[in-house]
């Protein structure tokens, strides 16, 4: 059973690959029906699938592919000219084949799909003409075939000039040819038998359709044998020249099929490594600061830079293993356009370029549907009917250009059509009628913003709902899907000239460049792809217009929102005079995000918040920073939406919490002693204990800050040593002074550093007194008493 599953898996993978290529080939075949190499390729696919499926006992699939094979075999031998009508049947059968393959993948069986109708039609195509022209057409190929053989045997001397690979390829080709011929003969026999069986229903049903078809049929084979016979050597020679060239690399190319899960796992591990690298860089910076000038630093620096370099290379290498050419997605469009043109009675040509551009697998999987929507839309609404086009002085055949190219760290997929273009005024009116925008918004809207309206939910420009598009759901789904990939959509259009839609998508989803910003004590990461610029402004540059904060940025008015208002951050720190504005851009939309600090640019690994916290508005995920802490990643799209609901919160700072506790006894005074030396703490304790005040000790700056922030005690003063591990006295003082509520907390430095510059630094960091060691117990007590306004009655 397991073995069967394994074979089945291989069969499915192979079949899907083959079928994918088939679509493209078939459409091409319609344009060049004489291309034998192409026909052979298509025939081989049908044949391979048939063979494998009969081996695996998928009778329905075998039945279908068998009849496809018949038709294709006839075409291959020139008995049948591929007309659009025949192509429709063939394409239909390929669709059925896909459905069957999908069914097999899901259920391991090929039941539940009705192929009878399609098989009957296929039969009619091969058998129907065969009935009328049976003798003639089956006779011609027999005559023709030897001619072909002769032609190819003429080439025989060439074998001497071939190298091994070519010879092998040639042998393979001949073998294939031989096998196919054998099979074709067998198939023909079976087909002959079956067409007799299938023939009865066809005349009754389709005589009118069958007869006109039958009439041109005898006409066509007549002229074809002559030109075909003459023309054949040329394409064949070409094909032969091309074939070895194509096959030779296949022999050299070595590939392994790898389970995607393994690659995902590898990518996760690399993610961890990137995080560790970030952490290493941070530690290196710290060490550098502390041990400046030490010899081992250089060595450490070297190691760190090598690790970081290799990590980056490794990341790129793994990313590349996950890359697939976008051609995989583009392949299905020629077929789609062909079907659409027939359905809509339009003439449209599709030009594809850049299909070799590579994208992450997960993105390739996601990008298909949005592209289908966009291209359908271009066909339906963009390109006009042939007569309209002619009247407008354009060529009757419209062109849709689909191209992909790299641009920096992103890939751009561009869909251009030369249709009627978007009418900004019409879009505005329509949106206004539908209540998507207000009249005022419509007035102030730029053309570019108006074009973006087509992505609004509930918007549809088609007057009539067609089968193709126009239900008003398509384009907003496109936008959501693209934005899910962190992508950006840009629409440009000119009336009468056409529309151009650009999708800009990051190369990979897992690791991105981000701008880290700080607000109060929190940090957030903003994807750098949506950051246009950052500006430093002072508070008085912020204006309030209609309850919304705005600023003037060069010639524009930029609406502003404070990141703290969006993420409900408590304003506990004193906000400085200056603020930074991160200008976010998303398509035509712009927004200024006010933050307290800019931390810098960093490469971050996107991690999900898990099921429990998923879908939190404004948060796209989280990342782990160099220090091991978690930082949330801003969802710029959601943030722009949320910003609309935020009212201007003029710089209203929360009132500093007053620490006016009435002191009723000496022990109500609380003083913190911060010193890394236990002896020093003891000396201070001894000096202050006689006063009867409550003393709390901390052994370094970090601990002191934590104790202070925990809010367990309300301190009246702090005695701070300067030289301490983890966080020294100066840093502690400046940290404390950032908080509004500690603005008036007296900080007293107690240190053996006596230099003038040390004192200056003390004052700068917010210390009010500077006591040098050694000191007398009385002096310390008096300084403390003075600073805490110690009531004399407690003495």
The residues that touch other proteins, with contacts defined as CB under 8 A, are: 272, 275, 522, 566-569, 607-613, 616-619, 622, 624, 628-632, 710-712
3-state secondary structure 281-332: HHHHHHHHHHCCCCCHHHHHHHHHHHHHHHHHHHHHHHHHHCEEECHHHHCH
Distant-in-sequence, close-in-space partners of 406: CB < 8 Å, separation ≥ 6? 357, 412
275 contacts 630 by C-beta, under 8 angstroms: no
For the CB of residue 564, give the shortest distance to other proteins in the complex, in Å.
10
Least distance (Å) between residue 524 CB and other proteins: 10
By C-beta, is 271 or 498 nearer to other proteins?
271
**Dist. CA 192–CA 187, nearest whole Å:** 8
Of the pair 523, 580, the CB lying nearest other proteins is at 523
State the pairing for strand pair 348-353/398-407. parallel
C-alpha closest to that of 22 among 109, 93, 73, 118: 93
- Among residues 145 and 609, whose Cβ is nearest to other proteins? 609
Closest to other proteins by CB, 433 vs 568, is 568
CB of 641 to other proteins, least distance (A): 13
- Specify the DSSP class assigned to residue 124: I
Question: Cβ distance 708 to 735 under 8 Å?
Answer: no
- 3-state secondary structure string across 400-438: EEEEEEEECCEEEEEEEECCCCCCHHHHHHHHHHCCCCC
- d(C-alpha 26, C-alpha 38), whole Å: 8
Min. distance of Cβ 568 from other proteins in angstroms? Answer: 5
Letter string b/e over residues 611-642, b meaning 16 or more CB atoms within 10 A of that residue's CB:
eeeeeeebbbbbbbbbeeeebbbbbbbbbbeb
Q: How far is the CB of 604 from other proteins (least distance, A)?
A: 12
* Least distance from other proteins to the Cβ atom of residue 504, Å: 28
Nearer to other proteins, 130 or 621 (CB): 621
Query: Residue 393 or 628: which CB sits closer to other proteins?
Result: 628
Strand order in the sheet with 578-586: 531-538, 578-586, 589-595, 556-562, 548-553, 543-545
Q: How far is the CB of 567 from other proteins (least distance, A)?
A: 4
Q: Closer to other proteins at the Cβ: 419 or 618?
A: 618
Q: Could you give the CA distance from residue 126 to residue 153 in angstroms, rounded to a whole number?
A: 30
We find the least distance from the C-beta atom of residue 642 to other proteins, in angstroms, to be 9
State the nearest-atom distance from the C-beta of 583 to other proteins, in Å: 22
Q: Which of 649, 698, 643 is nearest to 670 (CA)?
A: 698
Compare residues 523 and 775 and give the one whose CB is closer to other proteins.
523
Q: Which residues pair with 719 in a beta bridge?
A: 673, 748
Instruction: Rank residues 601 and 608 by Cβ distance to other proteins and give the closer one.
Output: 608
Residue 774 preceded by cis peptide, ω within 30: yes
Asked if 335 and 329 count as a contact pair (C-beta separation under 8 A), the reply is no
In terms of Cβ atoms closer than 10 Å to its own Cβ (0-12, 13-18, 19+), residue 711 is exposed
Shortest Å distance, C-beta 484 to other proteins: 19
The upper half-sphere exposure of residue 298, i.e. CA atoms within 13 Å in the direction of its Cβ, equals 3
Nearer to other proteins, 207 or 608 (CB): 608
574: which DSSP letter? P
Using the minimum distance from each CB to other proteins, give the nearer residue, 634 or 749.
634
Question: Smallest distance, Å, CB 784 to other proteins?
Answer: 27
């Amino acid at each position: 059973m397991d073995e069967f599953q394994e074979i089945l898996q291989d069969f499915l993978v192979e079949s899907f690959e083959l079928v994918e290529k088939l679509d493209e080939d078939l459409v091409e075949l319609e344009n060049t029906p004489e291309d034998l190499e192409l026909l052979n390729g298509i025939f081989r696919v049908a044949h391979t699938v048939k063979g494998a499926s009969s081996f695996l006992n998928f009778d329905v699939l075998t039945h279908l592919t068998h009849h496809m094979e018949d038709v294709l075999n006839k075409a291959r031998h020139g008995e049948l000219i591929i007309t659009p009508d025949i192509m429709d049947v063939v394409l239909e059968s390929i669709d059925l084949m896909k459905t069957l393959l999908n069914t097999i993948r899901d259920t391991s069986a090929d039941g539940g799909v009705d192929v009878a109708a399609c098989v009957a039609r296929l039969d009619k195509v091969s058998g129907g003409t065969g009935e009328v022209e049976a003798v003639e057409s089956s006779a011609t190929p027999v005559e023709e075939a030897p001619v072909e053989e002769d032609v190819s045997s003429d080439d025989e001397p060439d074998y001497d000039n071939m190298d091994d690979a070519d010879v092998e390829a040639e042998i393979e080709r001949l073998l294939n040819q031989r096998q196919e011929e054998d099979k074709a003969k067998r198939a023909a026999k079976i087909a002959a038998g079956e067409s007799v069986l299938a023939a009865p229903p066809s005349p009754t049903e389709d005589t009118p359709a069958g007869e006109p078809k039958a009439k041109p049929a005898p006409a066509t084979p007549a002229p074809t044998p002559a030109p075909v016979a003459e023309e054949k050597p040329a394409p064949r020679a070409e094909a032969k020249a091309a074939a070895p060239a194509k096959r030779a690399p296949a022999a050299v190319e070595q590939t392994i099929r790898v389970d995607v899960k393994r690659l995902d796992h590898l990518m996760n591990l690399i993610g961890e490594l990137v995080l560790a690298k970030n952490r290493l860089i941070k530690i290196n910076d710290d060490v550098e600061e502390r041990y400046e000038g030490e010899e081992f630093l250089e060595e450490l620096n070297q190691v760190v830079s090598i690790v970081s370099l290799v990590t980056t290379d490794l990341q790129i290498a793994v990313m590349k293993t996950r890359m697939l050419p976008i051609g995989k997605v583009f392949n299905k469009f020629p077929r789609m356009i062909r079907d659409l043109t027939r359905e809509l009675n339009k003439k449209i040509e599709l030009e594809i370029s850049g299909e070799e551009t590579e994208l992450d697998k997960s993105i390739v999987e996601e990008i298909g549907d949005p592209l289908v929507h966009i291209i359908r839309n271009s066909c339906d609404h963009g390109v006009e009917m042939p007569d309209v086009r002619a009247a407008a002085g354009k060529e009757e055949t419209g062109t849709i250009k689909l191209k992909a190219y790299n641009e920096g760290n992103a890939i751009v997929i561009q869909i251009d059509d030369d249709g009627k273009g978007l009418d900004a005024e019409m879009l505005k009116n329509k949106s206004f009628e539908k209540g998507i925008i207000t009249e005022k918004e419509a007035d102030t809207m730029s053309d570019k913003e108006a074009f973006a309206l087509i992505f609004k939910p509930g918007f549809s420009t088609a007057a009539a709902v067609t089968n193709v598009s126009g239900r008003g759901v398509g384009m907003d789904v496109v936008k959501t899907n693209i934005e899910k990939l962190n992508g950006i959509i840009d629409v440009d259009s000119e009336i009468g000239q056409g529309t151009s839609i650009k999708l800009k998508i990051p190369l990979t989803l897992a690791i991105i460049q981000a701008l880290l910003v700080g607000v109060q004590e929190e940090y957030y990461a903003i994807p750098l792809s949506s950051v246009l610029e950052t500006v430093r402004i002072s508070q008085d540059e912020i204006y309030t217009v209609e309850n919304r904060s705005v600023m003037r940025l060069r010639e524009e008015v930029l609406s502003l929102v404070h990141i703290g208002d969006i993420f409900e951050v408590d304003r506990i720190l004193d906000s400085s005079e200056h603020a930074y504005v991160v200008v976010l851009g998303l398509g035509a939309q712009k927004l200024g995000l006010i933050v307290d600090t800019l931390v810098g640019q960093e490469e971050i690994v996107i991690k999900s918040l898990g099921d429990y916290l998923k879908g939190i508005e404004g948060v796209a995920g989280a990342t782990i920073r160099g220090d091991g802490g978690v930082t949330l990643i801003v969802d710029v799209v959601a943030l722009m939406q949320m910003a609309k609901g935020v009212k201007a919160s003029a710089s209203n700072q929360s009132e500093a919490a007053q620490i006016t506790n009435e002191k009723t006894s000496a022990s109500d005074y609380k003083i913190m002693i911060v010193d890394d030396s236990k002896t020093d703490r003891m000396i201070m304790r001894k000096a202050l204990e006689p006063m009867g005040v409550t003393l709390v000790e901390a052994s370094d700056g970090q601990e002191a800050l934590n104790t202070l922030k925990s809010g367990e005690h309300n301190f009246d003063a702090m005695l701070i040593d300067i030289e301490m591990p983890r966080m020294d006295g100066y840093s502690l003082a400046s940290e404390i002074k950032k908080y509004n509520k500690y603005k008036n907390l007296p900080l007293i430095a107690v240190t053996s550093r006596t230099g003038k510059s040390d004192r200056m630094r003390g004052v700068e960091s917010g210390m009010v007194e500077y006591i040098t060691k050694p000191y007398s117990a009385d002096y310390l007590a008096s300084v403390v008493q003075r600073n805490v306004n110690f009531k004399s009655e407690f003495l």
